[in-house]
């Protein structure tokens, strides 16, 4: 009986470790990231993105503001994600990762869950030598590796917004050669030219991290 109980406990511990390694949404202190903060950050660029609760009949508008673009250490995020960020070790030699900070507000009549995993930056910023080989999939195209948000992200790298409510998000991208103005957006939807810099709003609560799965490549 003791052996059976020990086996069950060991199995439960294994499951717990696996869940923690996938970025289970455990909150961590926002100030620990060390990002530039402002009580009233000025948007660097804005767009309106649409979600639909009924397959496209009603399009619910979400106001998107880009607040921050910079390269920064993501060691804390990687530690929170555990095994989900193990592949990032291939990118460490290229320097700090790239962060895009956003604020989204639901300006529509219903709740929305805007997906963020397909927001990409121009592949022209990829470091030299990444056009081929083992690093190519990080850059062609350049999608976010993870989302960090002030609420628990959805499994598809989305955040939930109720009408009139806002959410703050930081998208983690691979290290890139940032120009003074970055081209960024969603293919076929919107493209923004965003100056590098900015700041995030002060966040009193915790942040939650989740690794993103890149969108499936379109058929050739």
**Chain segment 73-104, per-residue pLDDT in tens:** 999 999 999 999 999 999 999 999 999 999 99
- Ranking 6-10, 62-66, 201-205 by mean pLDDT, the lowest is 6-10
Assign domain 2-211 to a CATH class: mainly beta
Question: Judging by beta carbons within 10 Å of its beta carbon (0-12, 13-18, 19+), is residue 129 exposed, middle or buried?
Answer: exposed
- Ranking 5-19, 22-36, 165-179 by mean pLDDT, the lowest is 5-19
Q: Where are the beta strands (DSSP E) in the chain?
A: 28-29, 37-38, 45-51, 60-72, 97-106, 120-121, 146-149, 166-173, 181-186, 190-195, 197-198, 200-201, 206-211
pTM: 0.87
The whole-number average pLDDT for the span 114-120 is: 96
Q: What is the pLDDT of residues 148-194, one digit of tens each?
A: 999 999 988 999 999 999 999 999 999 999 999 999 999 999 999 99
Residue 24: pLDDT band with limits 50, 70, 90: very low
State the average pLDDT for the chain: 88
């Amino acid at each position: 009986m003791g052996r059976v109980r020990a086996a069950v406990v060991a199995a439960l511990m294994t499951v717990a470790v696996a869940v923690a390694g996938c970025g289970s949404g455990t909150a961590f202190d926002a100030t620990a990231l060390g990002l530039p903060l402002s009580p009233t950050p000025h948007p660097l660029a804005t767009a309106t993105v649409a979600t639909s609760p009924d397959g496209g009949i009603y399009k619910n508008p979400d106001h998107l503001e880009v607040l921050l673009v910079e390269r920064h250490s993501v060691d804390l995020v990687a530690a929170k994600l555990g095994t989900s960020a193990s592949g990032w070790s291939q990118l460490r030699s290229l320097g700090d990762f790239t962060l895009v900070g956003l604020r989204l507000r639901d300006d529509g009549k219903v709740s929305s869950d805007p997906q963020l995993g397909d927001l990409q930056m121009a592949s022209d910023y990829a470091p030299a030598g990444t056009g081929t080989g083992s690093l190519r999939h990080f850059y062609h195209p350049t999608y976010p590796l993870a989302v960090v948000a002030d609420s628990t992200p959805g499994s598809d790298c989305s955040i939930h917004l109720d009408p009139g409510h806002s959410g703050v998000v930081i998208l983690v991208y691979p290290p890139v050669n940032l120009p003074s103005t970055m081209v960024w957006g969603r293919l076929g939807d919107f493209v923004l030219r965003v100056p590098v810099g900015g700041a995030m709003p002060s966040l009193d609560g915790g942040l939650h991290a989740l690794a993103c799965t890149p969108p499936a490549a379109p058929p050739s």
